[in-house]
Amino acid sequence: MFDFNKLKKNIDEIQNKINYFFKNKDLLIEAFIHKSYLNENKDIKIKDNERLEFLGDSVLSLIISDFLFNKLPSSDEGKLSHIRSLIVNATQCEIYFEKLNLNDYILLSKGEIKAKRKSSISANALEALIGAIYVDSGYEKTKLFLLNHFEDMFLDILKNPKMDNKSTLQEYAQKKYNTIPEYKLINAEGPEHEKIFFVQVYVNNEPLGKGSGSCKKTAEQNAANDALSNLK
């Protein structure tokens, strides 16, 4: 099991895996520290990865938007948004992170390790890593990192896009009301390592469905599915 000191000793190994070498290695360390680990190791003076995750989520969305804008010059906003959602969703981010073979480096609390591992941990770690590279080197280097590792996977999704619940509901809302669904977090229950999120989706200011899940994105998908069932 990895601890903080072992993570620091393996920085070069991680950098070789991702083929990116940090100017500020503290950013890389921060990207692999889950909030639960610091709750049990309060003597470690470094931040958890949530701020980097927040930034990385937006950077990933921007880079994929840029990628799709140039790859699909004839596609409208609706199709571009749909394909982007397929590329950047939590399930795909988990797959990307597993391809890098980095799961063993994430520092977790003992409780989180004993609990069934949530896919959101890997997905969030990928976004934190993207955020760390962006802070360290900016947009172009981050884009290069993503395309070097995952462009073939992005192109596969472009060739075979599948409609998910959120995209289907968005298509319905745009056609019928010329608006898009709004997802609101209404509650979150449970301990840090087993938190369940509850989301309600509104279309044209009317509540249409509710959903829950171990991460917000899953809860939103389930809320969209509930809304689609209610529309039948």
Q: What residues are labeled active site?
A: 57, 127
> For the CA atoms of the chain, what is the radius of gyration?
19
What is the maximal distance between C-alpha atoms in the chain? 56
Tokens at 141, concatenated: 């280097």
Query: Cβ(46)–Cβ(28) under 8 Å?
Result: no
Query: Cβ(130)–Cβ(149) under 8 Å?
Result: no
User: How many Cβ atoms from other residues are within 10 Å of residue 74's Cβ?
Assistant: 5
Integer CA distances (angstroms), 87 to 4, 116, 144, 168, 182, in order: 32, 25, 16, 16, 20
Q: In what order do the strands lie in the sheet with 182-189?
A: 182-189, 196-203, 206-213
Q: Give 3-state DSSP helix, strand, coil % of the chain, rounded to 5.
A: 65, 10, 25
- Helices 50-71 and 119-137 pack at an angle, to 10 degrees, of 80
